Structures are given as C-alpha cells and as structure tokens.
Structure 1
Amino acid sequence: MSQRQANEPRSGSRERLLIVCPGRGTYNAAEWGTLNRLAGGSEWLARFDAMRREAGMPTLTELDGETPFRQSLHGRGEHAAPLIYACAWADLLAIDRERYEVVAVTGNSMGWYIALAAAGALGPDEALRLIGSMGLRMQKTLAGGQVIYPWVDEEWRPDWTLRRELLGLIARIHGRDGAELHLSIDLGGMLVFGSNEVGLARLSEALPPRERFPLRLHQHAAFHTPLQEGVKREARRELASLPLRSPEVPMIDGRGHVWTPWSTDPQALWDYTLGEQLVAPYDFTAAIRVGVREFAPDRIVIPGPGATLGGATAQALIQLGWQGWSDKSAFQRGQAEEPKLLCMGLAEQREWLLARRESLAV
C-alpha cells in the first residue's frame, strides 16, 4: 500500500474493489447471447448499435442474438473487441458505487482500452470508437500471431527455472533465418509469445508438448511487439483527436505504472495508449502486483464475458501469496469459504456480488 493510502481511512461500509478488465479471447460460443441478456433494450447499447450501423458494421445486438455464433465471424477483431467491451460495460454498470469503492482499474491487453472507459478517462462511446478502430486495424493487418505456454505446474506453483528457459528461447530463435520472436504478454503463470510465422514455427518445435500447449491463439496478431509498428503509425494518425482525459480513479497500465486522477497528463496517456502499449510487452502480472500492493483491495472483480482471465489472475496472486494462497488448492479452498476473486462472467459469482451489494444495504 502506498504511503498516501496508508494514511487514508477506509471508507465506511464500502468494500474496496480492484477491477481487472478482460481482453481478446473471452467472447466465445458459450458467451453468445450474454450481451442481450444483460443489456438488451438499454439506451447505451442502442447508441453503440447506431454507431456500428453508421460505420457499415453489423450491430452488437445482431451479432449477439440474430447471427448464429461462428468463430470465423465473431472472432474477428472488429467484432470480437466491441462485443467484449460491451459485455464488460454491462457488468461494470451493475456494480453499485454507493456500496463498492473502485480503488483502481487495470486490464489485460485489449482490457487496457476497457479500463480507460471504466476509470472515466474515455467516455463509453469514445471507448467504443477506440476499441472498434483498433480491432479492425489489427484484423486487417494480422501481423504475426501469438502462442501461449504455461510456466507453472499443475498446482499453479511457479517454476522459475522453466520460466528462464522459456524466455531464453527468444534469444535463441529471434533474428535467425528470418524469425522474429518476442515476449508479448506476461500473463500470470503463462507467457504469451508474439512472432512472425517463421518464429512461431520454430517456437512450436522447441516447446515440449504439455496437454493443449503450446496453444496458437485464433485470429490474434503479434500484439505488444515491434511487429505492430505499422498499426501504431496508422492508429496515431487516425486517432489523433481521441479525447483522453485524467481518470476518475487510478489506472494501472501494462508496465505497472499508475495513472492517477491528480497527476495524469492526458497527452502522455494518449502517447502510451497509442505508442509503447502497442509495441512493447504487456506485463499483466506487474499490473496485478501493483494493484494489490498499492491499493489493498478487499476483492478483485473481473467483468465478463467469460472467465478465462480468472486463472491467470489467480496465478499472479499465488505468486504474491495474496490471501495466503500458495497454490491452486489453497486458492480453491479460500474461494469456497468466501470468494475474493470474482469473475462476473460466471453467473454464480456475478449473482454473489450483486447479493453482497444488497446485503450491505441492509
């Protein structure tokens, strides 16, 4: 906890929440229909749909309800990213700020854009514009791809030797015979590699098979690597007028840097969001570490859709020993007693959070 926060009184009956926004890969066949169920008929979804219609795109309402789920369609960046954002936005709006205090917001990869909206650094419509534009640009380019591989054991305990060996593959493969290989995301107990096709092939040969890993991520470019320099240049030109402002609550970016309401330079925030964030590794683990240590949340909440980010977040928390968690079994026991990590994409955990809100009101 920072010195400033250590000197602040905790807020009455309000529980302190760290919000962790999801990124790509969280809206799949199982999540189809979620948006209409949570937000169908809402004014803001009608507004999002109108923006999509004006841009010549299928509306989110149509994609989530009338159009049967197809990975080849729904997984495309220009559709997947806005669907994920809208589902997360519906969950964020359900959190009662009179009962819960959001002390900080972060996210994984594309989740950084959602975090901008969640923290008030962008309005909801502006965030849709950013997310839709970046999703479309990434899809058109599809420069390289991503492969994910775990470095923790089956009980989510860190294997630091394996981690060093995996990172060593980058030095061994990158730059040889046309291969470009980079660390893309430090994701809890997993490493996400970004590479061109030559590098991905070499990496897949070098990684020992382990259950479903190495796993190539469908329709994912080499996000957060130098392969996105072209996307960065085009995005900075197209989104030069993006009206970023100081956030209303602190945000933690992909370096572990905190952007506060009282010290943020909007131009610097724009420069990071459409600059370093696109071409340098995204350290999600560092963001969780800073969120826990600096803001001392009572609970961590991951908006939907889905719950795939829950495992990576739990793995990062186990590395910190948060709540006394030392491995997967300890995490599961603690969650059974009282959930401290809540994925709103899981119906029972979303309902628990809302019921908790109601009980606090009594």
Structure 2
Amino acid sequence: MTTAFLFPGQGSQSVGMGAGLADAFASAREVFAEVDEALGQHLFKLMREGPEDQLTLTENAQPALMAVSVATARVLKREFDVDVAAASFVAGHSLGEYSALCAAGAIPLAETARLLKTRGQAMQKAVPVGKGAMASLIGPKTDLALAEAAAAAGAEVGVCVVANDNNAGNIVISGEKAAVDRAIEKAKELGARAIPLNVSAPFHCPLMQPAADRMAEALAGVTIAAPTPPVVANVTARPETEPEAIRRLLVEQVTGRVRWRESVAWMAGEGGVGRFVEIGAGKVLTGMAKRIAPEVESLSLNTPEELEAFARG
C-alpha cells in the first residue's frame, strides 16, 4: 500500500508528549537528548512535566513537536524496520513541514531544532501582542469561497487573509485584529461559525514578513539535501525535492497559506496514496485527512503500542 507520513503542527502539543516513547525506546531518548543539546535547554523536561503555558510558547512548542515526530520516525526505523524513506510522500502542517524534511533526511536534527527555535521566536516578535488575530471558520457551510469572501470583507479595514485551508468546514483566517473582527462578522452573515483563536500572533499572513526575512537569513546558512521521499509543500500543495526550491518555499511558508486540504487531496488523487499515517503528537491531521479523503485509510501513531501494531500490520 502506498503511504504518506504526515507531521503535525502547532496546537497538537500537550504536557507529557513523547514520554511514553522515551520510557520505551533508547532511540527516542537519543532524539530528545540531541534536541536539548542543540538548543541548550531542557526542552524534554518541559515536554514531560510542563508547565503547559511554557510548553505552549511558540518558540518551545515548535521544536518540541518536531522532536516528538522525529523520535517516532526514528523508533519506527530503528526498532521496527519501517523507514520513512520507503513512503511515497511526506507532508507537514506549518512547522510540521520542518519535521517532515528532517525525517526525510533533508535537514539534520540539530539544525532543524535550531531553525524552529528561531522561527518560533521570529514569529512571536513579528507583530506586537494585541495587534493581530486569527479566527477559525467552521461548520457545514464553510468552504474556501466563503472564507475568501469573509477575508475580503476584513481586508477593507486592514490586513486579512486565509491562513490555513485545513479542510471543508475548517478554515482559519489571520491578520490585523480589526480586520479579522470584520471578517468574523461577514463569515457569520454567510452562515459559518467563527471562533477567535487564542494565539500569540497572526500566523501565515503578510504581517509575518519580518519573520520571513529572519528565516531567509537563517536558512541561507543551512545545507539542505533532497528529501527521500518528496515533501508535499504547504505553499504549493505539490511534491518537491529540489533543495533550493525547498529553501525558498520554507521562507514563503511563513507569510503564505497552508494549503493542507489541497495537499492531502493531491496525495490521495494524483499521488495515489492509499494510507495516511500521522506520526508525532495528537491526532489532528488524521481527522483532517478523513474529512478530505474519506476513501483513504488514515491513522495516527503516538504510543509504543500503536507503533508495534502498525509495524506488525
């Protein structure tokens, strides 16, 4: 069966994530130790014990989520002889794209951890607290056309764009607070529910340009190899293996839309994927994949028991 591995993004973090893997497998402990050393902080202790408000900080959540995903991939390979390289594609949601690239051999683990620490700090600093906002548009009437119309209404008073096209019924808008508030009103008029998100900054919108500039600097000094398998990029929703294109897309991703619905639909359609496997913390992407491509098997691997069952199956 053709498989694509999916790597979760921010919001999937929780205190205790990765602890079961670390307790069961030396290969997972190696990953967490290497990330701690690369960052010069006790990140795994924070992941295991909290406090939650510290783990949720963007600069901590991003490398932490990557560490759990890469630890899961390493355990799969080392303990169960299941290699990400044998899959058809990898894809990650926002920061998860870095996890995917690391697991596919494109960027070394320590470098990936440092890049995500920088990315988290840069995204946090790009917009003063309170100036930006994000909102989730949900419900059966919510589709991309509705979200675009709501964002256009918001854009009449400030920056407002569609940030995450997750799946039909779940689309996120981002921008200046007054503009997002106007977009929320419009979305409700059009029949969607709109929920303001408790986020520290307006991600994936033009206000993040300072963070994109910072990531361009950081990525310029990084050697990127061709990933095996190809990564389906957030910005294009198509597979990519060329290192310089990947570098450019990672910069564009900071201000650009996460085209997740299109990415999963492409993999399930033209890509011929018959199974989506989410590896890392939580099950958010598994739920999205089931809604986007219900005909394709979708599952998540979090625990030692799930990894063993997957390897046997």
Question: Which residue matches 2:72?
Answer: 91
- Taking the TM superposition and a 5 Å limit, the aligned residue runs for 1:24-35 are 24-28=10-14, 32-35=15-18
Q: Please report how far the alpha carbon of residue 19 of structure 1 lies from its aligned counterpart in structure 2 after TM superposition.
A: 0.7
Alpha-carbon distance, 1:287 to partner: 0.9
Matched to 1:85, the amino acid is M
Return the match for 2:56 from 69, 75, 79: 75
Match of 2:213 in 1: 233
Q: Are 1:121 and 2:106 an aligned pair?
A: yes
1:225 counterpart letter in structure 2:
C
Q: Contact 1:109–1:282 (CA<8 Å) still a contact in 2? A: yes
Q: For 1:69 and 1:22, how far apart are their aligned partners in 2?
A: 21
Relative distance call for 1:208 and 1:45 in structure 2 (3 A) is same
Secondary structure of 1:288's aligned partner? helix
Question: 1:86: how far off?
Answer: 1.0
* Cα shift at 1:181: 0.7
Higher Cα Rg: structure 1 or 2? 1
TM-score normalised to the size of structure 1? 0.75
What secondary structure does 2:293 align onto? helix
Matched, 1:280 2:256: yes
Aligned-partner Cα distance in 2 for 1:351–1:188: 29
Of 286, 293, 298, the match for 1:341: 298
C-alpha distance in 2 between matches for 1:113 and 1:74: 19
Matched, 1:316 2:292: yes
Q: Determine the structure 1 residue equivalent to 2:278.
A: 302
CA contact (8 A) 2:39 2:113 kept: no
What displacement does 1:213 show?
A: 4.7
**Larger deviation, residues 181-190 vs 97-106:** 97-106
Quick one: percent identity of the two aligned structures? 22
Is this contact kept in 2: 1:146–1:220, CA < 8 A? no
Which residue of structure 2 aligns with residue 150 of structure 1? 138
- Report how far residue 217 of structure 1 moved: 2.7
Decide whether the 8 Å contact of 2:44 with 2:64 is kept in 1: no
- Partners of 1:114 and 1:193 lie apart in 2 by 24
* Residue in structure 2 matched with residue 355 of structure 1 by the alignment: 309
> Quick one: distance in 2 between partners of 1:37 and 1:288?
29
TM-superposed deviation, 1:117 = 0.8
* Structure 1 CA distance for aligned equivalents of residues 256 and 44 of structure 2: 34
CA shift digits 1:178-235 (9 cap, x unpaired): x2110111101211101111112222333339xx952233234222221111111122
Shift of 1:124: 1.3
* Counterpart contact for 1:75–1:219, Cα < 8 Å: no
2:36 pairs, out of 49, 54, 59, with: 49
Gaps of at least 5 residues in structure 1 are 1-14, 154-158, 324-339
| 1:98 CA displacement | 4.3
Does the aligned pair in 2 maintain the 1:26–1:306 contact within 8 Å? yes
Rounded Cα–Cα distance in structure 2 between residues aligned with 1:356 and 1:273: 31
What is the distance in 2 between the residues matched to 1:165 and 1:75? Answer: 30
Distance across 1 between alignment mates of 2:275 and 2:305:
15
Q: Is the 8 A contact 1:142 1:219 kept in 2?
A: no
Deviation (angstroms), 1:281: 1.4
Q: Secondary structure at the match of 2:225?
A: coil
Q: Does 1:183 pair with 2:162?
A: yes
Code of the residue aligned with 1:83 in structure 2: it is A
TM-score (norm 2): 0.86
Residues 231/174 of structure 1: CA separation in 2 closer, same or farther (3 Å cut): same
State whether structure 2 residue 228 is matched by structure 1 residue 243.
Answer: no
- Equivalent pair of 1:76/1:219 in contact (CA under 8 Å): no
**Structure 1: how far apart are the matches of 2:146 and 2:82?**
46
Following superposition, the deviation at residue 353 of structure 1 comes to: 4.7
CA contact 2:165–2:261 (8 Å) conserved in 1: yes
Go from structure 1 to structure 2 and tell me whether the alpha carbon gap of 1:314 and 1:206 turns closer, same or farther (over 3 Å shift).
same
Give 3-state SS (helix, strand or coil) of 1:146's partner: strand
Query: Runs of 5+ in structure 2 lacking a partner?
Result: none
In 2, the alpha carbon distance for the partners of 1:110 and 1:52 equals: 17
| Conserved? CA contact 1:142–1:220, under 8 Å | no
CA distance in 2, matches of 1:230, 1:192: 21
